[in-house]
């Protein structure tokens, strides 16, 4: 298959969200007078993941996820905090983090010469654009599609229908979705009839229900999949 349009997930595909998250959370709790510990992270991580799952399943609004995750976390520790204020602080810290996944800069730079590159993310518009610019990746992409602006989130077909209808001369047979999440990126591609490339860096178990067109363990391998057919 000769791909011409590449749709990249952002967090944990091009940018190391895990490293950014830990650094930002540590600073957030410290500036609010709390020591950030492994136990505190486990509580937050559990609350946050459940809220994002509810959002991806269409059960809660994005604002509810963002403005309640810290208040719900601290409530489990019998503390009352302003969830919206904490979220604003966290958003600022997170927006300043742009740790790159190994090979991301080189791969995007190389593929942008021969392909049309786009970002597809469930992240927040302002934060994601800022991080892309700081990481030096922004210039390689024709456009950024995010769930906050679109009003739908991956893996919903509505999200991908919007993306396809807003890319000039889009041809589903020439498009490839690249992402680390089976449940959002790969499932979304399957539902929309777009080929997918799963980045499985951590040797996760494959899914019988959600199967990717391609599977790689590093971004560098993507260049071989996307090499023009001669």
**Helical residues (DSSP H) of 32-174, grouped into ranges:** 38-56, 62-75, 83-95, 104-114, 125-135, 147-150, 157-165
d(CA 230, CA 215): 22
Is residue 221 helix, strand or coil? helix
Local confidence band at 230 (pLDDT 50, 70, 90 cut-offs): low
Q: Is 98 helix (H, G, I), strand (E, B) or coil?
A: coil
Residues 6+ apart with CB under 8 A from 84: 67
Q: How many helices (H) and strands (E) does the chain have?
A: 10, 6
Element (H, E) at 5: strand 5-8
Greater model confidence, 219 or 56 = 219
Residue of 61, 80, 60 whose CA lies nearest to 70: 80
Is 98's pLDDT higher than 60? yes
How far lies 116's CA from each of 84, 99, 122, 139, 216, in Å?
A: 37, 23, 20, 12, 20
8-52: per-residue pLDDT in tens? 999 999 999 889 999 999 999 999 999 999 999 999 999 999 998
Q: Which positions are annotated as active-site residues?
A: 9
| Cα–Cα separations (whole angstroms), residue 83 to 44, 52, 54, 79, 191 | 12, 16, 18, 11, 35
pLDDT at 58: 84
Contact 151, 145 (CB under 8 A): no
Q: Which pLDDT tens digit goes with each residue over 165-217?
A: 999 999 999 999 999 999 999 999 999 999 999 999 988 888 888 999 999 99
Element containing residue 224 per DSSP (H, E): helix 222-225
Local confidence band at 1 (pLDDT 50, 70, 90 cut-offs):
low
Q: How confident is the model at residue 123 (pLDDT cuts 50, 70, 90)?
A: confident
The whole model's pTM is what? 0.85
Task: Give yes or no for residue 75 having a pLDDT over 80.
Answer: yes
Q: In the predicted model, what is the mean pLDDT of residues 81-87?
A: 96
In 56-75, which positions are buried (b, 16+ CB within 10 angstroms) versus exposed (e)?
beeebebeebbbbbbbbbbe
pLDDT at 229: 60
Mean pLDDT of the chain: 93
CB atoms within 10 A of CB 179: 28
CB 172 within 8 A of CB 200: no
């Amino acid at each position: 298959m000769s791909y011409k349009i590449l749709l990249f997930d952002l967090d944990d595909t091009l940018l190391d969200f895990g490293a950014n998250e830990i650094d930002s959370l540590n600073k957030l709790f410290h500036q609010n007078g709390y020591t950030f510990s492994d136990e505190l992270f486990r509580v937050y991580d559990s609350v946050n993941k459940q809220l994002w799952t509810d959002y991806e399943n269409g059960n809660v609004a994005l604002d509810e996820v963002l403005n309640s995750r810290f208040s719900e976390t601290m409530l489990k520790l019998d503390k009352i905090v302003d969830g919206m204020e904490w979220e604003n602080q966290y958003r600022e810290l997170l927006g300043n983090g742009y740790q790159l996944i190994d090979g991301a800069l080189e791969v995007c730079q190389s593929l942008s010469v021969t392909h049309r590159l786009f970002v597809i993310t469930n992240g927040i518009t302002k934060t994601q654009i800022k991080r892309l610019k700081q990481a030096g990746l922004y210039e390689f992409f024709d456009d950024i599609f995010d769930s906050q602006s679109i009003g739908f989130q991956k893996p919903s077909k509505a999200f991908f229908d919007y993306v396809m209808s807003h890319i000039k001369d889009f041809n589903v047979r020439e498009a490839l979705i690249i992402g680390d999440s089976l449940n959002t990126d790969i499932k979304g591609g399957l539902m929309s009839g777009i080929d997918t490339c799963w980045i499985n860096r951590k040797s996760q178990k494959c899914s019988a229900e959600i199967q990717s067109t391609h599977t790689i363990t590093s971004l560098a391998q993507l260049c071989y999949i996307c090499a023009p057919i001669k």
